[in-house]
Amino acid sequence: MPLVALQERVASIVPGMAANPPADDFLRFLPADYFRDGLPDLASLEGRALLERVTAGVDLVILDNLSSLARGRENEADDWQPIQDTILSLRRRGVSSLVVHHAAKGGQQRGTSRREDILDTVIALRRPEGYSASEGARFEVHFEKARGFMGAEAAPFEVRLETTADDYLWHVSDLANDDQTMALSMLARGETVPAVVKALGVSRTTVYRWQKEAAGE
């Protein structure tokens, strides 16, 4: 995102905030436009060193988005290794990482599935059926990998943002997990896991988790 657009977006959000941040540097940005030649590739030694340096004393780092920050081949598992090493290094220092990544046409994450190996949680944002662009920010939240929580806590839900003249309101509602019902029905008919993955656009991890939940494991 261009630096000017980022500044404008933050400025538009601030009036709707209910409280001030606890410190002026509570939220920091490192936009590519801040650098003459852009941000270095985070998979390179230079990029990894920069990330280590700017995250000193930070609790959470958000990498948005992976395709623009790491220039390796998305489908090659080995090209993910440098980023994985960096994320693990941050975790050992007590820094949490949130990685934003694009979805492929089928709805799954784009590129190698090896990225999910070290992640505690994988969240997929999807457009609700019948969604219209005039509705603005309205989307479904699906947990495709949930390490450390399960059951009702991992149930999908819908989120809608309402904007008023001087405020931002988030509305959260339950979402019937039709995908899970459909997946279990397909498996009961003898369909394979790959077939379910292709038909519903979910990950293999999600289908196997649904199988375990249905079996009471």
Say if residues 80 and 112 touch (Cβ distance below 8 Å). Answer: yes
Helix (H, G, I), strand (E, B) or coil at 145: strand
pLDDT single digits (tens) 122-163: 999 988 877 888 888 999 998 888 888 887 788 888 999 887
Domain ranges of the chain: 1-119
In degrees, to the nearest 5, what angle opens at C-alpha 34 toward C-alphas 33 and 36? 80
pTM: 0.73
pLDDT single digits (tens) 66-104: 888 888 777 777 888 888 998 999 999 999 999 999 887
